[in-house]
Amino acid sequence: MSQTTKPWVIGNWKMNLDRRAAEILAREIADDPSCRAKIKVGLAPPFPYLDRVAEILGHGPVALLGQDLHPEARGAYTGSVSGPMLRDMGVTHVLVGHSERRRLHGEDDNMIRRKISAAVEAGLTPVVCVGEDLAQRESQQAMTTITTQLQAALAADGWPGQGETLVAYEPVWAIGTGRVAGREQIIEIHAGIRRLLPGHARILYGGSVSPDTAGPLAREKEIDGLLVGSASLTATTFLAIVKATTPA
């Protein structure tokens, strides 16, 4: 973690929680003083709960993220949510290219490029997610895979722009598996990503981050923050990660 910029901790709730549980969790996080100092905390709730979570977060320091967006701003796209709609709800950042979108929703690099353009156009900061699957890792194709993903992202209009450039490295085989990537693996990939992006890029790690692994990960100079799935679903585990990530 760099000494000069605040690390990020983003909780991706995915398709979990109900309205009541989302409210309670958002309130516990918003009210906790550890989410204020020396750290940037963000929450990505399911779309139907964005409005309520936005209300709870108010004008406080915790950022509101979308989990995805449609590449078009409006139109006949049943079931989809656009960048301007997210912006309207108080969202400032949006995950783009999460491996679950790539894998389960068939999003290819071209679609992700369009979504990044749409996010920028709507005034949202995309958190561009990249990562290799197990077969690619085992055949030494991890960096090649990520380079292709990033080159597509770099072809998006307006990205990276003047604002913060955020990328999340999430090895697919580490997501939801309890298997955190090794230190050397992460450092090598983060350094590779950094070489492809402008100097100010912030690179987050995601994949089975827990209160136990957050501290050591956060102390690595190459890691600018954490993207947390399962462990973001309870205030206890998420706040423990926030505390472990906060610089002394």
Name the site residues for ligand PGA (rule: CB under 6 A).
12, 170, 175-176, 206-209, 227-231
Least Å from the CB of residue 14 to ligand PGA: 7
Closer residue to ligand PGA, CB minimum distance, 41 or 231: 231
Q: In the bound complex, what is the minimum distance in angstroms from residue 93's beta carbon to ligand PGA?
A: 14
We find the least distance from the C-beta atom of residue 169 to ligand PGA, in angstroms, to be 11
Report the C-alpha gap between 183 and 191 in whole angstroms.
12
Residues in the chain: 248
Residue 160: φ, ψ to 5°: -75, 150
The residue sitting closest to ligand PGA, measured at its beta carbon, is 229
Q: Measured from the CB atom, is 223 or 248 closer to ligand PGA? A: 223
Q: Which of 98, 100, 132, 190 is catalytic?
A: 98
- Answer yes or no: 98 catalytic: yes
Nearer to ligand PGA, 21 or 155 (CB): 21
- The beta strand positions in the chain, using DSSP E, are 8-12, 40-44, 63-66, 93-96, 125-130, 166-169, 202-206, 225-228
Burial (CB < 10 A; 0-12, 13-18, 19+), residue 197, is: middle
In sequence order, the β-bridge partners of residue 66 are 94
Given the residues 100, 132, 170, 222, select the one marked as catalytic.
Answer: 170
Going by C-alpha positions, the residue among 78, 72, 60 that lies closest to residue 111 is: 72
Output 45 or 207, the one with its CB closest to ligand PGA: 207
Quick check: is 70 catalytic? no
State the minimum distance, in angstroms, from the CB of residue 231 to ligand PGA. 6
Taken in order 206, 8, 214, 47, is the CA torsion positive or negative?
Answer: negative
Catalytic residue annotation? 98, 170
